């Protein structure tokens, strides 16, 4: 006579419990013991760690497979250590009860046996489900209030501390080893080192990220650079009430270094988000930003009305409902602002525009003079040209093709690892692989997957580096003959010339004199750099990266004309 099968569903609610294994092992032991008591065989359905944030059936593949077999009539006896293992969510629990009741499944827990076709047992089960749901809600509420109170008292609210910190007496303190590398990350980035070079520095020195893995990712480094903890503060926001508490913590990075890093990061984000949808040519628009609100400057050309100017489009972007950045923080103004009476300078104090031709000429002359007098750029020209002498476009293409080939190979390797992972998961569910062997194989596959992901990321970044270097060499090759004689360049080539040496042009308005003040920021410290003889011979002394130019001219067109959002699509704007 064929024995009945007791299907045992196992789940823990945290990753820690899964790692330690005690909770899952206990559930399995009790399930197997109950099967023996009933004289049944057993089948294990191990979901592993799924928290209360994964109550939907779609995010729990083992439970989904179990319900499929229940619907097919292959399951008649189901065991869980307690009702909450199936679900604390009332809707999900009702779905499971309905499927079990429809298929005539008898439910077993450590507390007893429930025939879901029996009204009394069904009622008891519903009460237990409601109790589990209430307990979960109360536990969540206690945890939420506890974290908020910890933040109010200056304690760490929970979870692993950020890289560079450790916990002592439940408060953040500087980690003796990580904090040194943290400071170096910010120092290198503020000096102009790319995130890829910072990643290489960390990898080659064996510095590992806080959340596991052998290598830092670019995303991890970018997250570190935007983290306010290192500036000596952070904000904890309650998930239910949205109450925000600012908490002080040890400053790990010098304030000026942190500020420079944020400025560079925000500048790169602005450049990345700049989208050129214009039908007219603007030489400076792609690198000009408003110094009052941080918005990318726009350009407007209307031949009929003789309008040719750069302006801050903050007002019209707000009126069209777009999110913009004010002084580095996101500010979303409601669309009801459109109904408010227009007020000069309410959205941004940049209320005067700049004549395009005059601004282009002034900036061009200032940059041209600085570049032609720069000792640093002259030395870089020599260095880059000598280093790349004889390197043709075909060689760059070969490098690029090789990088693409290696990237495709890495993708194939990653796909094989993922296919192997899927296979052992299937074998585990079908009990073709014991638990100890599964854990060893899965750990090896996870390590292989992490390595493959890291290799793939580095290959992608290598491709970017090849392209960036090619663009610099192209710039050198293009302008080496006209390096000090660029006046004959057409407007499009002048723009390419400027993009090669400039990082940003910040436009401010001096309200006392009604003059525009342009802060021109170069890629290199070439403003007033020097070439002088030192103890070890002639050497180049760094200058500044910024040059300030005052524009005494004015335009008869002011930003009052850009507020009409209805007409902005008929004009050329940023």
Q: Are 295 and 289 in contact (CB under 8 A)?
A: yes
Query: Residue 532: helix, strand or coil by DSSP?
Result: strand
Q: What is the pLDDT of residue 121?
A: 65
Q: What is the pLDDT of residues 43-70, one digit of tens each?
A: 999 988 765 555 567 678 888 888 889 8
Cα 96 from Cα 198, distance rounded (Å): 51
Tell me: do 93 and 115 sit in the same domain.
yes
**Do the domain assignments include residue 149?**
no
Average pLDDT of the chain to the nearest whole number: 76
Tell me: do 367 and 333 sit in the same domain.
yes
Q: What is the pLDDT of residue 554?
A: 45
Tokens of 417: 């690892």
**Do the domain assignments include residue 72?**
yes
Chain centroid offset of residue 9 CA: 37
- CATH code of 61's domain: 3.40.50.1390
Domain count for the chain: 4
Q: What is the DSSP string of 326-351?
A: ETTEEE---GGGGGSPP-TTSS-S--
Tokens of 191: 């000096």
Tell me: do 375 and 506 sit in the same domain.
yes
Tell me: do 375 and 398 sit in the same domain.
no
Which of 144, 173, 196 terminates a domain? The answer is 144
Which of 273, 294, 322 terminates a domain? The answer is 273
Check residue 48 and give left, alpha or beta (phi > 0: left; psi -120 to 50: alpha).
left
**In which band, very low, low, confident or very high, does the pLDDT at 182 lie, cut at 50, 70 and 90?**
very high
Tokens of 16: 């820690």
* pLDDT above 50 for 501: yes
Q: Name, in order, each residue with C-beta under 8 angstroms of 488's C-beta and a sequence gap of 6 or more.
A: 482
HSE-up (13 A, CA, CB side) for residue 214: 11
**Do the domain assignments include residue 137?**
yes
Q: How many beta carbons lie within 10 A of that of residue 204, not counting itself? A: 8
Q: What is the pLDDT of residues 329-352, one digit of tens each?
A: 333 333 334 334 444 445 688 888
**In which band, very low, low, confident or very high, does the pLDDT at 169 lie, cut at 50, 70 and 90?**
confident
Cα 297 from Cα 316, distance rounded (Å): 12
Among candidates 275, 285, 321, 278, which has minimal Cα distance to 302? 278
Long-range (24+ apart) CB contacts under 8 A made by 463-466 are 463/400, 463/403, 463/404, 463/407, 464/196, 465/196, 466/396, 466/399, 466/400, 466/403
Q: What is the DSSP letter of 187?
A: H
Tell me: do 211 and 341 sit in the same domain.
no
Tell me: do 292 and 239 sit in the same domain.
no
* pLDDT above 50 for 353: yes
Q: Which domain holds residue 293?
A: 285-379+491-570
For the chain, the residue count is 574
Q: What is the pLDDT of residue 129?
A: 61
Cα 216 from Cα 408, distance rounded (Å): 22
Tell me: do 83 and 120 sit in the same domain.
yes
Q: What is the pLDDT of residue 132?
A: 62
Which of 217, 241, 273 terminates a domain? The answer is 273
**Do the domain assignments include residue 483?**
no
pTM over 0.75: no
- CATH code of 182's domain: 3.90.1750.20
Q: What is the mean pLDDT of residues 499-510?
A: 87
User: In Å, how far are 267, 388, 487, 518 from 499, measured between CA atoms?
Assistant: 14, 21, 16, 16
**Do the domain assignments include residue 472?**
no
Tokens of 100: 């079990």
Q: Name, in order, each residue with C-beta under 8 angstroms of 574's C-beta and a sequence gap of 6 or more.
A: 277, 278, 285, 296, 297, 298, 299, 313
Residue identified by tokens 């007409």 is 567
First to last CA, the chain: 79
Chain centroid offset of residue 230 CA: 18
**Do the domain assignments include residue 154?**
no
Tell me: do 123 and 20 sit in the same domain.
yes
* Angle formed at CA 543 by CA 542 and CA 549, multiple of 5 degrees: 160
Q: How do beta strands 288-290 and 502-510 pair?
A: parallel
Q: What is the pLDDT of residues 185-214, one digit of tens each?
A: 998 888 778 888 898 888 888 888 876 667
**Do the domain assignments include residue 477?**
no
Q: What is the pLDDT of residue 86?
A: 74
Tell me: do 370 and 512 sit in the same domain.
yes
User: In Å, how far are 337, 364, 406, 480, 486 from 381, measured between CA atoms?
Assistant: 52, 20, 32, 8, 16
Q: Are 71 and 60 in contact (CB under 8 A)?
A: no
Residue identified by tokens 């290959």 is 459
Tell me: do 32 and 132 sit in the same domain.
yes
* pLDDT above 60 for 483: no
* pLDDT above 90 for 124: no
Cβ-in-10-Å burial (0-12, 13-18, 19+) of 189 comes to buried
Q: Name, in order, each residue with C-beta under 8 angstroms of 5's C-beta and a sequence gap of 6 or more.
A: 40, 41, 42, 43, 75, 76, 77
Residue identified by tokens 């629990």 is 93
Cβ-in-10-Å burial (0-12, 13-18, 19+) of 278 comes to middle
Q: Where are the alpha helices (DSSP H) in 303-434?
A: 314-319, 356-372, 375-387, 393-429
Tell me: do 36 and 66 sit in the same domain.
yes
Q: What is the mean pLDDT of residues 249-260?
A: 84
Higher pLDDT, 29 or 397: 29
Q: What is the pLDDT of residue 569?
A: 30
**Do the domain assignments include residue 97?**
yes
Tell me: do 441 and 410 sit in the same domain.
yes
Q: What is the mean pLDDT of residues 565-573?
A: 31
């Amino acid at each position: 006579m064929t024995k009945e099968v007791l299907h045992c569903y196992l789940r823990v609610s945290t990753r820690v419990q899964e790692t330690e294994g005690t909770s899952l092992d206990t559930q399995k032991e009790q399930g197997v013991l109950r099967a023996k008591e009933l004289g049944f065989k057993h089948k294990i359905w191990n979901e592993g760690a799924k928290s209360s944030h994964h109550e939907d059936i779609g995010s729990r593949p083992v439970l989904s497979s179990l319900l499929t077999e229940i619907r097919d009539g292959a399951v008649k006896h189901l065991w869980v250590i307690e009702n909450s293992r199936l679900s604390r969510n009332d809707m999900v629990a009702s779905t499971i009860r309905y499927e079990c009741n429809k298929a005539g499944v008898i439910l077993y827990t450590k507390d007893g046996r429930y025939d879901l076709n029996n009204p009394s047992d069904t009622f008891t089960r519903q009460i237990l489900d409601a109790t589990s749901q209430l307990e979960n809600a109360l536990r969540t509420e206690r945890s939420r209030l506890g974290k908020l109170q910890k933040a109010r008292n200056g304690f760490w609210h929970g979870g692993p501390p950020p890289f560079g910190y450790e916990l002592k007496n439940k408060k953040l303190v500087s980690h003796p080893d990580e904090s040194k590398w943290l400071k170096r990350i910010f120092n290198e980035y503020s000096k102009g080192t790319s995130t890829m070079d910072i990643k290489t520095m960390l990898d080659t020195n064996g510095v590992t990220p806080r959340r596991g893995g052998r290598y830092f990712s670019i995303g991890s480094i970018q997250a570190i650079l935007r983290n306010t903890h290192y500036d000596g503060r952070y904000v904890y926001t309650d998930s239910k009430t949205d109450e925000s508490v600012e908490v002080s913590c040890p400053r790990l990075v010098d304030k000026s270094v942190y500020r420079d890093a944020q400025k560079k990061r925000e500048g790169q984000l602005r450049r990345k988000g700049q989208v050129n949808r214009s039908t007219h040519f603007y030489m400076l628009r792609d690198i000009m930003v408003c110094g009052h609100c941080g918005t990318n400057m726009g350009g407007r050309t209307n031949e009929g009305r003789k309008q040719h100017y750069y302006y801050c489009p903050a007002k019209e972007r707000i009126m069209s409902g777009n999110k913009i950045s004010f002084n580095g923080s996101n500010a979303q103004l409601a669309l009801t602002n459109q109904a408010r009476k227009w007020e000069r300078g309410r959205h941004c104090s940049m209320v005067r525009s700049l004549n395009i031709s005059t601004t282009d000429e002034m900036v061009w002359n200032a940059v041209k003079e600085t570049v032609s007098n720069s000792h640093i750029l002259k030395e870089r020209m020599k260095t880059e040209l000598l280093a790349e002498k004889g390197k043709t476009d075909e060689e760059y293409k070969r490098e690029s093709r090789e990088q693409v080939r290696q990237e495709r190979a890495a993708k194939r390797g990653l796909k094989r690892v993922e296919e192997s992972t899927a296979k052992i998961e299937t074998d585990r569910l079908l009990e073709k692989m014991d638990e100890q062997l599964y854990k060893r194989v899965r750990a090896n596959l996870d390590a292989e997957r992490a390595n493959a992901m890291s290799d793939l990321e580095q290959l992608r970044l290598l491709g970017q580096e090849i392209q960036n270097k090619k663009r610099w060499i192209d710039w050198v090759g293009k302008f080496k003959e006209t390096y000090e004689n660029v006046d004959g360049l057409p407007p499009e080539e002048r723009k390419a010339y400027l993009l090669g040496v400039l990082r940003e042009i910040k436009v401010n308005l001096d309200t006392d004199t009604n003059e525009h003040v342009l802060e021109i920021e170069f890629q290199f410290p070439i403003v007033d750099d020097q070439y002088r003889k030192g103890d070890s011979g002639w050497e180049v002394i760094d200058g500044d990266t910024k040059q300030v130019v005052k524009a005494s001219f004015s335009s008869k067109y002011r930003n009052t004309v850009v507020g009409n959002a209805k007409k902005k699509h008929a004009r050329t704007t940023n």
